Amino acid sequence: MNKVIVPLNAFNRNEVLEKGQESFIEKIALSGAYGIEIRRELFPEGDMTLEKIKMEVEKFKLFTIFSAPIELWNLGSQLNKELLRRTFVEARNLGASWVKTSLGHYQTERSNCIELKQFIEELIDENETIQLFVENDQTMYGGNVERLKAFFESASVHEVPVKMTFDTGNWYYTKQNVHYAFEQLAPYVGYLHLKHVETVKNGLVTMPLPDDKNGEWRQIVNQFPASLTKAIEFPIDPISEMKHYIEMVQKAVEKESGEIICKI
C-alpha cells in the first residue's frame, strides 16, 4: 500500500489557525490520503483542541502523526526530558501513532542514548505503540548528515526505539547533499517528507513537487521501499490540488518492494 500523509502546514497558516486543524480533516480524508500530520505550532496559543481532532480523525479512520517543534537534545546536549514528556502526553491524548521531533544539539561524547531508551520506555505504556521519529530540520546542527548518522548509529547499537524522518528539501537549507544524505541515512528511515526547493533572489523557497519524470524527488522515492510512508509537505493552494499531489506521489512508486531495511 502506497501511504501518503498530508501535514497541516501544507495549508495557509492563518487559515489553519483561524479555522482549527480539525476543520481540514474531512477534506484530507476525501482526497485519498492515508493519514494526517498534526502540527503543534498550528494550535492557537492556549487552545490545544486535541480531543476534537481525535474524534474527527477517528471518524475518518486516518493514521495520525503528531509533529512538535522541539529538539530531542538541548543546548547542553542533554535529553530534553520535560518537552519530550509533554509531547508524548499530547500525542497520547490526540491518539497519534507517531511522534516527530528534530535532533537538536546531539554530541556523541555528551548525549546518552541509553538514557533516551530508558526515558522512552518510561513514557510509553506497555499497551501503547507510539513511535518516536527524528527529522533532519533546517538548522545547521539538526540537519547535519554526520551528526544524524552518529545519533542513529548509537541509537541502533543501544536498541533505542527511534526512526528517522528524511526530509528531502531540508538538506538544501543546511547546504547538505541530498544524495549523500540518502547514502548515509537510508537504513534508518521510516518516514519520508517530500518537498521541492528552489533558489530565488532572496534565498531558498519551498515549492510543490514538479510533475517531472526525471525530478529529483522521484529518484529518491524510488530508492526506498514502496511501502514507506510519505508526506507531501509543501504549499498546497488551492486545497483542491491536494488530491492531484497525493495521486502523483502514489503513481511515482515504480516498484513494490525495496532492498533497504531499517536497522532500528
Q: Mind listing the pLDDT tens digit for each residue in 151-167? A: 999 999 999 999 999 99
Is 71:80 a contact under the CB 8 Å cutoff? yes
Mark 141-150 as b/e (b = at least 16 C-beta within 10 Å).
bbbbbebbbe
Domain assignment of residue 264, yes or no? no
Could you read off the pLDDT of 10-58 as tens digits, one per residue?
A: 999 999 999 999 999 999 999 999 999 999 999 988 788 899 999 999 9
Is 217:209 a contact under the CB 8 Å cutoff? yes
How far is CA 179 from each of CA 1, 9, 221, rounded to the nearest angstrom? Answer: 25, 25, 12
Is 49:90 a contact under the CB 8 Å cutoff? no
Domain extent, residue 175, equals 4-252
Is 10:209 a contact under the CB 8 Å cutoff? no
Domain assignment of residue 261, yes or no? no
**What is the domain-level CATH number for residue 17?**
3.20.20.150
At 159, the amino acid letter reads: E
CA atoms of 92 and 84, how far apart (whole Å) = 12
Domain assignment of residue 166, yes or no? yes
pTM here? 0.94
Name the domain count of the chain: 1
Q: What torsion, rounded to 10 degrees, do the Cα atoms 253, 196, 39, 148 define? A: 80
Look at residue 171 and give its three-state secondary structure: helix
Could you read off the pLDDT of 190-244 as tens digits, one per residue?
A: 999 999 999 998 899 999 999 988 889 999 999 999 999 999 999 999 999 999 9
